[in-house]
Amino acid sequence: MIVAVQHAARGVSKIVPELSLPPTAGRRVSLVVTDLAVLKPTDDGLVLHERAPGVSIEAVVAATAAALLIQGDVPEMPILVEAA
């Protein structure tokens, strides 16, 4: 299951270490896509998979309440522009 969410609202991170409400889905999330990053939940924690263009790793970490695993170079998300 892929979840799309705003990374933070009113300065408060929506990417948290623990759920504060009961889960509404019957299975685990496989990918989280936000306006700042793509995160991949694993048994070891949240892996920073990609970052939005122009957004640094440090900015993603600062905007995230949960701990992130940084594995090597984290690429920017590709932006595809179709010609008219």
Q: Average pLDDT in the 6-22 region?
A: 88
pTM: 0.85
49 is a domain residue: yes
Q: Is residue 1 part of a domain?
A: no
Residue 22 lies in a domain: no
Phi, psi of 72 (to 5 degrees): 70, -150
C-alpha–C-alpha distance, residues 45 and 66, integer Å: 9
Assign 74 a pLDDT band (cuts: 50, 70, 90).
very high
Residue at 84 is within a domain: no
In a domain, residue 19? The reply is no
Reported as half-sphere exposure (CB side, CA atoms, 13 A), residue 46 has a value of 20
Q: Is 23 exposed, middle or buried (0-12, 13-18, 19+ CB in 10 A)?
A: exposed
12 occurs within a structural domain: no
Residue 45 lies in a domain: yes
Number of domains in the chain: 1
Whether residue 60 is contained in a domain is answered as yes
Give the domain extent around 48.
Answer: 29-76
pLDDT digits (tens, 9 = 90+) for 31-66: 999 999 999 999 999 999 999 999 999 999 999 999
Distance CA 82, CA 43 (A): 37
Residue 81 per-residue DSSP state: -
